[in-house]
Chains A and B, each alone.
Chain A
Amino acid sequence: MRWLDDIRRFRLSVLGLNRRNQDYVFRYNAREAFLMVDNKIATKVALSTHGIPVPRSFAVFQVPWDLRRLGWAVRRLEDFVMKPARGSGGGGILVITGRENGHFRKSSGARLTLRDLEDHAADILAGAYSRNQRQDEAMLEYRVRPDPVIGGMSFGGVGDVRVLVLLGVPILAMLRLPTRRSDGRANLHVGGIGVGIDLSTGRTSRAWSREGAVETHPDLGVPLGGVTLPCFSQILEIAASCHDAAGLGYFGADVVVDAEHGPMVLELNARPGLGIQLANGRGLRPLAEEIERRKPEGLTVRERVLLGREVFERTYEDGEGVLRDRR
Chain B
Amino acid sequence: MRVAGVLAALAALLAAPLPISRAADRTEVERPTEKEIFPGNPDGEARPSPPRLTTAYWKVSLELHAAKSPDGGWVRMALPLSDGRQALLSRRYAGEKLDLREQAGGDNLFGLWSWTPSTEASELRVELLAQISDLWMEPPTSPFPPPPADETLRPLVEPTASVPSKDPEIRRRAHEIVHSAKRLDEAAWALYQFTASFVKTDPTTERMDALSVLRDEKGTGAGKARLLTALFRSLGIPARMVGGLRLKDASKTRSTISWVEARLGDRWFPMDPSGGYFGFVPNDYLTLYRGDLPLLVHRAGLDVDYDFLVRQVTRKSSAEAEEVPRAEVLKSLEPPEVVAEQDRVQTVATYVQKPVATVVMITDERVPQAVLDRMRTEAIAGDVNLVLLVARLPSRYFRENTLRRLISSNLNVMREAHVLLVSTRDEAGLFGLLELGEHRLKLNDARILVTGNFFESVGEVLGMILYDLVDPGEMALYPRRADLLSLWEVARVNLLRGVPLLEASADWGIEPTVIDAASFDALSRYRSTIVRGWARAVRAQVPLQALTLILVLPVIAFVVVLFRSFVGMDTFGLFSPVIVSLAFLATGLYWGTVIFVVIVGLGAILRNAIQRLRLHLVARLAILVGLVSVLMTGLTVFGAYLGIGALLQVSLFPMVIMSNLIENFTASQIELGTRGAVRLTTNTLFVCMVCDVVVESTGLPSILLAFPEVLAIVVALEIVVGKYRGLRLLEYKRFYDLLRRSRSEGGTRADRAA
The CB with the most chain B CB atoms within 10 A, among A9, A16, A129, A282, is that of A16
CA distance A186 to B522 in the complex (A): 68
Q: Do the beta carbons of A319 and B672 come within 8 Å of each other?
A: no
Q: Do the beta carbons of B671 and A88 come within 8 Å of each other?
A: yes
Q: Do the beta carbons of A17 and B617 come within 8 Å of each other?
A: no
**B45 on the interface (CB 8 Å rule)?**
no
CA distance A11 to B729 in the complex (A): 11
**Other-chain contact of A19, B726, B745, B749 (Cβ < 8 Å):** B726
Interface mask (B456-468 → A, CB under 8 Å = 1, otherwise 0) = 0000000000000
CA distance A23 to B725 in the complex (A): 8
Specify which chain B residues have a CB less than 8 angstroms from the CB of A208 in the assembled complex. Answer: 737
Specify which chain B residues have a CB less than 8 angstroms from the CB of A126 in the assembled complex. Answer: 616-617
The residue on A at minimum CB distance from B568 is A17
**Chain A nearest CB, measured from B727 CB (Å):** 4
Given contacts A16-B726, A18-B725, is CB(A10)–CB(B737) below 8 Å? Answer: no
Q: How many residues of B contact A (CB 8 A)?
A: 30
Query: Which B residues have a C-beta under 8 Å from some C-beta of A?
Result: 565, 568, 614, 616-617, 667, 670-673, 676, 723-728, 731-732, 734-735, 737-739, 741-743, 745-746, 749
CA distance A208 to B614 in the complex (A): 36
30 contacts between A and B (CB under 8 A): A6-B743, A7-B732, A7-B739, A9-B742, A10-B739, A11-B726, A13-B738, A14-B735, A14-B738, A16-B728, A17-B565, A17-B568, A17-B731, A18-B565, A18-B724, A19-B726, A88-B671, A89-B671, A89-B672, A91-B670, A126-B617, A190-B671, A190-B676, A208-B737, A213-B737, A274-B731, A278-B737, A281-B738, A283-B735, A317-B745
Query: Which A residues have a C-beta under 8 Å from some C-beta of B?
Result: 6-7, 9-11, 13-14, 16-19, 22-23, 88-89, 91, 119, 123, 126-129, 133, 189-191, 208, 212-213, 274, 277-278, 281-283, 316-317, 319
Q: Do the beta carbons of A317 and B731 come within 8 Å of each other?
A: no
Specify which chain A residues have a CB less than 8 angstroms from the CB of B724 in the assembled complex. Answer: 18
Given contacts A6-B739, A126-B617, A283-B738, is CB(A14)–CB(B671) below 8 Å? Answer: no
CA distance A273 to B749 in the complex (A): 30
Q: Do the beta carbons of B725 and A19 come within 8 Å of each other?
A: yes
Specify which chain A residues have a CB less than 8 angstroms from the CB of B727 in the assembled complex. Answer: 11, 14, 16, 18-19
Specify which chain B residues have a CB less than 8 angstroms from the CB of A89 in the assembled complex. Answer: 671-672
Given contacts A16-B731, A91-B671, A189-B676, is CB(A319)–CB(B746) below 8 Å? Answer: yes
The residue on A at minimum CB distance from B611 is A128
CA distance A133 to B615 in the complex (A): 13
**Chain B nearest CB, measured from A18 CB (Å):** 5
**Other-chain contact of B617, A11, A127, A191, A277 (Cβ < 8 Å):** A127
Q: Do the beta carbons of A18 and B728 come within 8 Å of each other?
A: yes
Specify which chain A residues have a CB less than 8 angstroms from the CB of B565 in the assembled complex. Answer: 17-18
Given contacts A16-B726, A17-B731, A212-B737, is CB(A319)–CB(B742) below 8 Å? Answer: yes
**Chain B nearest CB, measured from A278 CB (Å):** 6
CA distance A308 to B746 in the complex (A): 24
Specify which chain B residues have a CB less than 8 angstroms from the CB of A278 in the assembled complex. Answer: 734-735, 737-738
Q: Do the beta carbons of A190 and B672 come within 8 Å of each other?
A: yes
Specify which chain B residues have a CB less than 8 angstroms from the CB of A127 in the assembled complex. Answer: 617
The residue on A at minimum CB distance from B670 is A91
CA distance A18 to B727 in the complex (A): 7
Given contacts A281-B738, A319-B746, 6 further A-B contacts (CB under 8 A): A10-B742, A17-B565, A17-B568, A190-B671, A190-B672, A190-B676
CA distance A123 to B611 in the complex (A): 12
**Chain B nearest CB, measured from A93 CB (Å):** 12
Q: Do the beta carbons of B731 and A281 come within 8 Å of each other?
A: no
Q: Do the beta carbons of B735 and A10 come within 8 Å of each other?
A: yes
Specify which chain A residues have a CB less than 8 angstroms from the CB of B735 in the assembled complex. Answer: 10, 14, 274, 277-278, 283
**Other-chain contact of B731, A14, A23, A128, A191 (Cβ < 8 Å):** A14
**Chain A nearest CB, measured from B112 CB (Å):** 72
Q: Do the beta carbons of A6 and B742 come within 8 Å of each other?
A: yes
CA distance A259 to B617 in the complex (A): 39
The CB with the most chain A CB atoms within 10 A, among B671, B724, B728, is that of B671
**Chain B nearest CB, measured from A277 CB (Å):** 6
**Chain A nearest CB, measured from B676 CB (Å):** 7
**Other-chain contact of B738, A91, A191, A212, A277 (Cβ < 8 Å):** A277
**Chain A nearest CB, measured from B420 CB (Å):** 52
Specify which chain A residues have a CB less than 8 angstroms from the CB of B734 in the assembled complex. Answer: 278
**Chain A nearest CB, measured from B661 CB (Å):** 14
Specify which chain B residues have a CB less than 8 angstroms from the CB of A16 in the assembled complex. Answer: 568, 725-728, 731
**Chain B nearest CB, measured from A121 CB (Å):** 12
**Chain B nearest CB, measured from A100 CB (Å):** 24
Q: Do the beta carbons of A191 and B673 come within 8 Å of each other?
A: yes
The residue on A at minimum CB distance from B731 is A16
**Other-chain contact of B614, A10, A11, A119 (Cβ < 8 Å):** A119
CA distance A316 to B752 in the complex (A): 15
**Chain B nearest CB, measured from A185 CB (Å):** 10
Specify which chain A residues have a CB less than 8 angstroms from the CB of B742 in the assembled complex. Answer: 6, 9-10, 13, 283, 317, 319
CA distance A123 to B723 in the complex (A): 40
**Chain A nearest CB, measured from B734 CB (Å):** 8
**Chain A nearest CB, measured from B674 CB (Å):** 12
**Chain A nearest CB, measured from B621 CB (Å):** 9
**Chain B nearest CB, measured from A2 CB (Å):** 8
CA distance A107 to B724 in the complex (A): 45
A-B pairs, top 9 by smallest CB distance, nearest first, are: A16-B727, A19-B725, A89-B671, A10-B739, A16-B731, A14-B735, A133-B617, A18-B725, A126-B616
**Chain B nearest CB, measured from A254 CB (Å):** 17
CA distance A84 to B672 in the complex (A): 18
Specify which chain B residues have a CB less than 8 angstroms from the CB of A19 in the assembled complex. Answer: 725-727
The residue on A at minimum CB distance from B736 is A10
**Chain B nearest CB, measured from A246 CB (Å):** 24
Q: Do the beta carbons of A9 and B617 come within 8 Å of each other?
A: no
Specify which chain B residues have a CB less than 8 angstroms from the CB of A129 in the assembled complex. Answer: 670
Specify which chain A residues have a CB less than 8 angstroms from the CB of B745 in the assembled complex. Answer: 316-317
The residue on A at minimum CB distance from B723 is A22
Specify which chain A residues have a CB less than 8 angstroms from the CB of B568 in the assembled complex. Answer: 16-17
**Other-chain contact of A128, B617, B723, B737 (Cβ < 8 Å):** B617
**Chain B nearest CB, measured from A216 CB (Å):** 18
**Chain B nearest CB, measured from A161 CB (Å):** 21
**Chain A nearest CB, measured from B625 CB (Å):** 15
**Chain B nearest CB, measured from A125 CB (Å):** 10
Specify which chain B residues have a CB less than 8 angstroms from the CB of A14 in the assembled complex. Answer: 727, 731, 735, 738
Q: Do the beta carbons of B726 and A281 come within 8 Å of each other?
A: no
Q: Do the beta carbons of A281 and B739 come within 8 Å of each other?
A: no
CA distance A210 to B614 in the complex (A): 32
CA distance A9 to B746 in the complex (A): 10
